[in-house]
Amino acid sequence: MRRAIVVSAQGLGSVSPNPPVGCVVLDRVGRVVGEGFHLRKGEAHAEVNALAAAGDRALGGTAVVTLEPCNHHGRTPPCREALIDAGVARVVIAVMDPTSRGEGGAALLRQAGVEVEQGVLAEEALLVLGPWLASLTRERPFITWIHGDSEALSAEVDLLRQSHDLVVRAGGLAEEGRQGSHGDGVFRVPDRLPAGDAGHLLKVLGETGARSVLIVGDAGVPSLEQRADRLIRYLPFTATTQAPLPPGYRLSEVTRGVGYARVVGQRS
């Protein structure tokens, strides 16, 4: 499962509005024979890619997947059908899919005689799936706001943009985290965020298909910055009177840099 979680991260920043999912297929004796991830909406899901890599070796084996296999026909056939057709004997799932339709993929796998285990390393799988799930629950994109005064901040921004759908910079300018990563016709990016309150801006961002948004520095959208789900601050050690986090956040991480502290807060 941990390998499936790591594999699933390859879909971050490109797969939205779909979830980033990873799958590892084991043969009858437990050897890894295939792995796959979901890259972008409209393309093959993680289970299908992993089964394609495994081929006939999946027969009688185990599929380990970070999110419950889907149970509906969309742009692609349901993944539970692919798993049944491949003859897997067992499916191990980390997180159940709140968008599952009908009885759910797990239930139909069991009805087909496939052994199903749920909740395996679910908390660890949320390291990748967490923002997607939060976006569904809150009916808006998951927002990370990073700001401060440090050369190290720009290096972290370069890293964070790889796994965020949208990046918002000074003046409300918006762009894909990775240009063209979501494919044609799936993702709609405004050049600049319009004026408006947080509710309006969150609606605009949600309509793009984004599940995660990174706000960098003072982007000129204070209503959004105040709604951030995760806050990353670079604080000089000399700023002894500055509060590490505003009200409404809990401290989740503190690390030391050269002359500054990197502070991470999660909305409580």
Residues belonging to the active site: 47
Count helices and strands (H / E) in the chain.
Answer: 8, 12
Determine the Cα–Cα distance for residues 204 and 222; give it in Å rounded to an integer.
Answer: 16
Alpha carbons 261 and 268: distance in angstroms, whole number: 21
Contact by Cβ (8 Å): 143, 227: yes
What six digits make up the tokens of 234? 């670079």
**CB of 62 closer than 8 Å to CB of 91:** yes
Q: Are 149 and 229 in contact (CB under 8 A)?
A: no
Which structure tokens are listed for 194? 């319009």
Q: Calculate the alpha carbon distances from 10 to 26, 76, 129, 231, 240 in Å.
A: 20, 19, 12, 23, 40
Q: Which two tokens stand for residue 36?
A: 């796959």
CA distance 118 to 57: 23
Are residues 229 and 143 in contact, defined by beta-carbon separation less than 8 angstroms?
A: yes
Closest alpha carbon to 145 in 201, 229, 207, 267? 229
Pair 68, 102: CB distance under 8 Å: no
